[in-house]
């Protein structure tokens, strides 16, 4: 269980629809990265945008050796590029800007400006080229170099930044991983050779879905990397892993429950990436728990070889400590607490779920229609529109105002907008959001029950679409398990998920600065009504456990769960800070000999499923993983 932030002064680039047909196989870029931020943009001047489509040249040099690096950029903006005049296009050193590179050659245009654009003019839809010399320093080692394309005195061209790793001297050895050995399985991770044969392997990072993450402590950070095979060997099995995996114990700040093990993040085996091909690899990492500035570093391994140029670095700014790490129960359990707590029934909670960041993916706006009549009110409760069933209204936030169009032209209000069906739990559709088109998903999943809200968050400079609905309806839209899994396992998982949601509803702190309780992707995966319609068995599990949550000493317990253990779960203290009495290590015999998938704390989903398949009741499973807890009914559905 269990974002995108631009540097100050940057603007987001827009793809020009006229040139989408030119992109050919790059169409997948515009689908997966429709909310992709530009690599650089230092001025508000519009019309400039690039896509790095080819990087050639050696990434390994001897001390003092000089070799040529060539880069091609596709002009996907609306302005032409030139190699002379006041706004000539050229390459600069970057990150930090205008620095003297250790690879500076005497042939460079300036010490911080290697070369101008090769062509006299590159019109929109055409490809431009730069070619320059890298002069290796005398000190051996691995260097990270970043360059950016710019229009002189006008703009850093969005999409024109690229980074590469340059090895100087003999090929560096990659330490062999010190990971526990286990019986061979189809899920095992091939070890990286201690002396990897890197000849023929080379990569260039072309795309990053997040340039810099500004998040709260412990927050999950979804990320997609686009890596081009610039070598001569094809890639079959691709793995994103920590650099120097034998040192993983010192690099666990970014561990997320989705990882294969503490050192290996994700493995991808679909298709073969031939030389010149591009691989898009999505994965998730977690922000460190303490406030501060960090750099998350990962590397690409192909078929067991650490690929030169496949180094990935993402700056991470953690703005606040993770509250649940330091205060899991918000009080110290009392020894005088009753062994069987008595809890008065409450009204079913209404939970707020962040379901969509409104950005390029939906053209920076939303279009909503509902199955029944609905009203649109602003945050102060003023009625701004009355809509009939099936009528559509568009809305967006811009320049400190919320704009909407109900078919009478643009209108505006100073407060956020709420879309309120007159009949409870009505299904509403975001008509311009389709995950099949923008996220390569199997389903559109753009339908949601009950209330929707459009709200701008000034802290992170982004606008959210929030779904407000009863907690039991929220649970029906979760995609945490299959509709075909055992009913007792479904009840187990749903109860843990309900408890997790209630825990954050009661505290209302995890996403308080974003005005919702849980994130539809970073917390528990929530796909809305579409998921509910596809999983009637899960809806039955929700109904038959309605209102039941896990408590400890009369208080709502936090109930982490993960994919699979390696034969035992972990104490809370083994992974995070402090001690949580009900989160103790327990054996997981069904997982014995397997690789740990996740953080290891709380409930192993694979062990729980095994127990359910072997006849264990959902209550038995929960009390096995969460030591000394009670199951309490808090409300009626």
Q: pLDDT of 455-472, one tens digit each? A: 999 888 999 999 999 999
pLDDT value of residue 261: 67
As a whole number of angstroms, the distance between CA 391 and CA 73 comes to 44
List pLDDT tens digits, range 273-301: 999 888 989 898 888 877 788 888 899 99
As a whole number of angstroms, the distance between CA 108 and CA 88 comes to 16
CATH for 3-172 (3.40.50.2300, 2.70.70.10, 2.60.40.10, 2.60.110.10): 2.60.40.10
As a whole number of angstroms, the distance between CA 105 and CA 134 comes to 6
As a whole number of angstroms, the distance between CA 202 and CA 309 comes to 6
User: What SS3 class is residue 131?
Assistant: strand
- In this structure, what are the phi and psi dihedrals at residue 145, rounded to the nearest 5 degrees? -120, 140
Mean pLDDT within 198-212: 84
pLDDT value of residue 505: 94
Confidence band, pLDDT 50/70/90 cuts, at residue 69: confident
Q: To the nearest whole number, what is the mean pLDDT of the chain?
A: 81
As a whole number of angstroms, the distance between CA 194 and CA 416 comes to 57
Mean pLDDT within 121-139: 88
User: Prior bond to 619 cis, omega within 30?
Assistant: no
pLDDT value of residue 334: 37
Query: Helix 487-507 to helix 536-544 angle, to the nearest 10 degrees?
Result: 60
Closest CA to 578 of 395, 255, 326: 326
Q: Where are the domains of the chain?
A: 3-172, 206-321, 472-633
Whether 538 and 530 have beta carbons less than 8 Å apart is answered as: no
Q: Of the ranges 50-54, 124-128, 595-599, which one carries the lowest mean pLDDT score?
A: 50-54
pLDDT tops 90 at residue 53: no
Closest CA to 159 of 23, 307, 309: 23
Mean pLDDT within 210-224: 81
* Six-digit token string for 637: 């559905």
What number of other Cβ atoms are within 10 A of residue 197's Cβ? 11
pLDDT value of residue 375: 97
Mean pLDDT within 526-550: 96
Bridge partners of 395? 366, 404
As a whole number of angstroms, the distance between CA 51 and CA 161 comes to 9
As a whole number of angstroms, the distance between CA 366 and CA 375 comes to 16
pLDDT value of residue 318: 84
* Six-digit token string for 613: 């398949």
User: What SS3 class is residue 248?
Assistant: helix
pLDDT tops 50 at residue 530: yes
3-state secondary structure 311-346: EEEEEEEECCCCHHHHCCCCCCCCCCCCCCCCCCCC
Please compute, for residue 493, the number of CA atoms within 13 A of its CA located in the half-sphere on the CB side.
33
- In this structure, what are the phi and psi dihedrals at residue 530, rounded to the nearest 5 degrees? -60, -40
Indicate the Cα dihedral angle 531, 534, 540, 543, nearest 10°: 30
Mean pLDDT within 25-47: 38
Mean pLDDT within 210-232: 84
User: What SS3 class is residue 422?
Assistant: coil
What number of other Cβ atoms are within 10 A of residue 388's Cβ? 10
Domains 3-172 and 206-321 share a fold: yes
pLDDT tops 80 at residue 581: yes
pLDDT value of residue 411: 95
Q: Of the ranges 70-79, 367-376, 544-553, which one carries the lowest mean pLDDT score?
A: 70-79
**DSSP result, 57-103:** E-SEE-TT-EEEEEEEEEE-SSSPEESSSTT-EEEEETTTTTPPPTT
List pLDDT tens digits, range 86-124: 889 999 998 777 788 888 988 998 888 999 999 999 998
Q: Class of 206-321 per CATH? A: mainly beta
pLDDT value of residue 620: 97
Q: Of the ranges 16-30, 60-74, 121-135, 572-586, which one carries the lowest mean pLDDT score?
A: 16-30
- Is beta strand 213-215 parallel, antiparallel or unpaired with respect to 305-318? parallel
Q: Of the ranges 322-326, 341-345, 586-590, 597-601, which one carries the lowest mean pLDDT score?
A: 322-326
pLDDT value of residue 292: 81
Ranges of H-type helices in 562-632: 572-575, 605-613, 618-625
Whether 159 and 26 have beta carbons less than 8 Å apart is answered as: no
pLDDT value of residue 573: 87
Q: Rank 7-21, 145-159, 284-298, 599-613 by mean pLDDT and report only the highest.
A: 599-613
**DSSP result, 377-392:** EETTS-EEEEE-TT--
Q: How far is CA 517 from the centre of its chain?
A: 18
Closest CA to 286 of 313, 318, 261: 318
pLDDT value of residue 439: 87
What number of other Cβ atoms are within 10 A of residue 527's Cβ? 23
As a whole number of angstroms, the distance between CA 562 and CA 601 comes to 7
List pLDDT tens digits, range 251-270: 446 877 577 766 788 988 88
The pTM for the full model equals: 0.54
Between 58 and 432, where is the model more confident? 432
């Amino acid at each position: 269980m269990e974002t995108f932030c631009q540097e100050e002064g940057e603007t987001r680039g827009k793809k020009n629809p006229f040139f989408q047909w030119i992109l050919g196989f790059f169409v997948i870029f515009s689908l997966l990265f429709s909310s992709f931020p530009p690599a650089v943009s230092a001025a508000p001047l519009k019309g400039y945008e690039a896509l790095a489509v080819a990087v050639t040249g050696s990434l390994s040099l001897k001390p003092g050796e000089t070799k040529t690096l060539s880069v091609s950029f596709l002009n996907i903006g609306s302005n032409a590029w030139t190699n002379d005049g006041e706004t000539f296009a050229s390459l600069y050193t970057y990150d930090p800007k205008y620095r003297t590179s250790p690879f500076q050659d005497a042939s460079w245009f300036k010490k911080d400006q290697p070369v101008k654009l090769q062509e006299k003019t590159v019109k929109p839809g055409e490809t431009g080229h730069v070619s320059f010399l890298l002069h290796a320093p005398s000190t051996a080692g691995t260097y990270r170099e970043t360059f950016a394309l710019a229009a002189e005195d006008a703009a850093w061209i969005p999409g024109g930044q690229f980074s590469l790793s340059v090895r100087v001297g003999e090929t560096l050895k990659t330490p062999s991983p010190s990971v526990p050995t286990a019986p061979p399985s189809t899920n095992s991770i091939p070890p990286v050779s201690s002396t990897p044969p890197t000849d023929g392997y080379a990569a260039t990072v072309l795309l990053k879905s997040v340039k810099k993450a500004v998040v709260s402590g412990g927050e999950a950070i979804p990320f997609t990397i686009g890596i081009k095979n610039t070598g001569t060997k094809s890639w079959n099995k691709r793995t994103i892993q920590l650099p120097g995996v034998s040192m993983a114990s010192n690099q666990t700040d970014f561990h997320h429950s989705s990882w294969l093990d503490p050192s290996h993040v994700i493995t991808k085996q679909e298709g073969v990436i031939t030389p010149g091909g591009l691989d898009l690899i999505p994965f998730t990492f977690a922000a460190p728990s303490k406030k501060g500035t960090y750099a998350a570093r990962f590397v690409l391994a192909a078929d067991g070889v650490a690929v030169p140029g496949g180094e990935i670095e993402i700056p991470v700014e953690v703005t606040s400590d993770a509250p649940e790490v330091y205060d899991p129960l918000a009080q110290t359990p009392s020894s005088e607490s009753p062994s069987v707590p008595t809890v008065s029934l409450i009204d079913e909670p209404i939970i707020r779920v962040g379901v969509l960041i409104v950005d390029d993916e939906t053209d920076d706006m939303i279009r909503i229609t509902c199955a029944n009549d609905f009203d649109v009110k602003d945050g102060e409760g003023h009625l701004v529109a009355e809509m009939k069933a099936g009528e559509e209204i568009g809305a967006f936030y811009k320049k400190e105002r919320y704009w909407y169009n109900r078919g009478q032209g643009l209108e505006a209000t100073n407060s956020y907008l709420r879309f309120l069906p007159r009949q409870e739990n009505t299904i509403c559709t975001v008509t311009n959001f389709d995950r099949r088109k923008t996220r390569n998903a199997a389903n559109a999943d753009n339908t949601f029950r009950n209330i929707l809200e459009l709200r701008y968050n000034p802290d992170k400079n982004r606008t959210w679409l929030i779904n407000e609905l009863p907690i039991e309806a929220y649970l029906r839209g979760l995609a945490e398990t299959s509709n075909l899994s055992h009913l007792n396992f479904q009840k187990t998982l749903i109860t843990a998920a309900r408890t997790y949601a209630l825990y954050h509803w009661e505290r209302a702190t995890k996403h308080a600065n974003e005005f919702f309780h849980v994130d539809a992707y970073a917390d528990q995966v929530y796909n809305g009504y579409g998921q509910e319609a596809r999983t009637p068995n899960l809806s039955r599990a929700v109904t038959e456990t309605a209102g039941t949550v896990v408590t400890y000493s009369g208080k709502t317990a936090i109930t982490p769960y993960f994919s699979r253990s390696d034969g035992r779960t972990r104490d809370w203290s083994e992974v995070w800070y402090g001690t949580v009495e009900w989160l103790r290590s327990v054996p997981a015999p069904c997982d014995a000999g397997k690789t740990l998938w996740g953080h290891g704390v709380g409930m192993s989903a694979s062990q729980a499923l095994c127990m359910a398949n072997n006849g264990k009741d959902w209550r038995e499973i929960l009390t096995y993983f969460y030591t000394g807890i009670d199951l309490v009914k808090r409300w009626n559905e």
